[in-house]
């Protein structure tokens, strides 16, 4: 799953704003969230701030760990080498920080590969990082948690679509049922994970030439089949049919479409994250890309050569979902799993601090009673 900015590698460091460090509240340390997906390796390092967190370092590299996995069932040597090289960079960045809590997760490629466990052993030996393979359900939950600030709480329902390299997660949210929980993460009404993402879909339907609507339609139908067979979200069908739901799309493919829509000279997260598109906008960008050759797509500044063969697969996944669960409004999220991991760690830290305070209070009361 991905929220990685296209193309290639990107990292940033944000310096403290406003009050000087001497006058800011004492920090409880740093948090690092690392997400190794089928296509990308991403790292966020952040500190807690009022209302959320402040990013102090970030790193993203396209590694294509799942390249060839759909044909062989195994991670390939060159793909593992690329991923390990990126993870060594992440490990170095984490070790340069003091007082840091780390959670490193791996998703569909490591879940599906016969040699996924062997690969994670190698990662730990060579990078010092211990990766945890999470379940599809946990992946969906974390993607919702990372995107929650982009929900239009005045709506009645939302669908969070997380398009990864090797899997796609859909999470239906009943906002009516969660109306009283405006500040928190809404519960998931239904969720679906399908083991198809932009890498696996592009490998299954190789492109033989630009501008072939039948080829694109084949990809759309391949996604529609498992989504249409899923009936646990049908309780929200009337809300979607009435136009009272919106979609949140989190993936590099969808952020690429947004950058293309804005005609950005280079990718700019501040312009893309939170952008509202219409369904017609999304269809128009897919049509525009379909008319281009792979070389022309590679020359687009918000796509680049690393995504040129994947972006139409992402557009096909988005179109398939829109045909089955139509939403006039689509909100683009340059956020997702990593942000969800960070917020979950911070919430757990809050709970641990409250437990410690309660234990200290109980001990103090017992000591006074015994005195």
Note the pLDDT of residue 178. Answer: 74
The pLDDT tens digits of the residues spanning 230-263 come to 999 999 999 999 999 999 999 888 999 999 999 9
Each residue of 162-192: pLDDT tens digit? 999 999 999 999 998 876 555 577 889 999 9
Q: Does residue 18 carry a pLDDT above 60?
A: no
In sequence order, the β-bridge partners of residue 329 are 278
pLDDT at 39: 95
Q: What is the mean pLDDT of residues 117-126?
A: 98
Work out the average pLDDT over 122-149: 96
Mean pLDDT of the chain: 88
Backbone torsion region of residue 140, taken as left when φ is above 0, otherwise alpha when ψ lies between -120 and 50, otherwise beta: alpha
pTM of the full predicted structure?
Answer: 0.85
Q: In this predicted structure, what is the pLDDT of residue 25? A: 42
Residue 24: pLDDT over 50: no
Query: Given pLDDT bands bounded at 50, 70 and 90, which one contains residue 87?
Result: very high
Residue that wins the pLDDT comparison between 15 and 141: 141
Residue 42 tokens read as 């991403």
Quick one: pLDDT band at residue 22, thresholds 50, 70, 90?
very low
Asked whether the predicted pLDDT for residue 210 surpasses 80, the reply is: no
pLDDT on residue 5: 40
Write the pLDDT tens digit of every residue in 190-205.
Answer: 999 999 999 999 999 9
Tens-digit pLDDT profile for residues 321-367: 999 999 999 999 999 999 999 999 999 987 655 555 565 555 556 55
- Structure tokens belonging to residue 274: 């939170």
Q: Which pLDDT value is given to residue 367?
A: 54
Cis status, amide bond into 229, omega within 30 of 0: no
The per-residue pLDDT for 2 is 40
The alpha-helical segments, DSSP class H, found in the chain are 69-72, 77-95, 108-112, 116-127, 136-147, 198-204, 213-228, 237-241, 252-262, 269-272, 279-290, 294-299, 311-324, 337-370
Confidence class for position 46, pLDDT limits 50, 70, 90: very high
Residue 57 pLDDT > 80? yes
CA 326 → CA 201, 233, 319, distances in Å? Answer: 22, 14, 9
Q: Is the pLDDT of residue 11 over 60?
A: no
Q: How confident is the model at residue 208 (pLDDT cuts 50, 70, 90)?
A: confident
Q: What number of residues does the chain have? A: 371
End-to-end CA distance of the chain: 58
- pLDDT exceeds 90 at position 107: yes
């Amino acid at each position: 799953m991905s929220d990685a900015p296209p193309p290639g590698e990107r990292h940033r460091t944000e310096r403290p704003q406003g009050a000087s460090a001497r006058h800011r509240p004492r920090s409880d340390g740093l948090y690092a969230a690392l997400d190794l997906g089928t296509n990308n390796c991403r790292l966020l390092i952040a500190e807690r701030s009022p209302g959320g967190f402040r990013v102090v370092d970030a790193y993203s590299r396209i590694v294509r760990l799942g390249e060839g996995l759909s044909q062989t069932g195994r991670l390939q040597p060159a793909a593992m080498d690329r991923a390990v090289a990126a993870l060594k960079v992440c490990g170095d960045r984490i070790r340069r920080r003091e007082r840091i809590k780390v959670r490193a997760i791996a998703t569909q490629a490591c879940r599906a590969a016969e040699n996924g466990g062997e690969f994670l052993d190698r990662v730990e030996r060579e990078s010092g990082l211990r990766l945890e393979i999470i379940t599809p359900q946990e992946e969906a939950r974390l993607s919702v948690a990372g995107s929650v600030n982009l929900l239009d709480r005045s709506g009645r329902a939302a669908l969070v679509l997380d398009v990864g390299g090797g899997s796609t997660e859909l999470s239906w949210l009943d906002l009516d049922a969660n109306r009283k929980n405006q500040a928190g993460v809404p519960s998931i009404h239904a969720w679906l994970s399908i083991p198809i993402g932009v890498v696996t879909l592009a490998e299954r339907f190789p492109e033989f030439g630009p501008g072939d609507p039948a080829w694109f339609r084949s990809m759309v139908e391949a996604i529609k089949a498992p989504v249409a067979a899923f009936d646990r979200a049908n309780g929200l069908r009337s809300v979607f049919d009435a136009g009272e739901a919106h979609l949140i799309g989190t993936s590099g493919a969808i952020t690429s479409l947004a950058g293309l829509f804005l005609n950005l000279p280079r990718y700019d997260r501040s312009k893309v994250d939170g952008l509202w598109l219409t369904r017609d906008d999304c269809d128009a960008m897919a049509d525009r890309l379909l008319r281009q050759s792979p070389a022309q797509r590679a020359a687009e500044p918000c796509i680049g050569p690393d995504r040129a063969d994947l972006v139409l697969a992402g557009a096909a996944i988005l179109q398939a979902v829109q045909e089955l669960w139509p939403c006039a409004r689509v909100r683009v999220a340059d956020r997702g799993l990593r942000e969800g991991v960070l917020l979950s760690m911070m919430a757990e830290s809050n709970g641990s601090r409250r437990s410690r305070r309660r234990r200290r209070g109980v001990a103090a009361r017992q000591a006074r009673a015994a005195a």
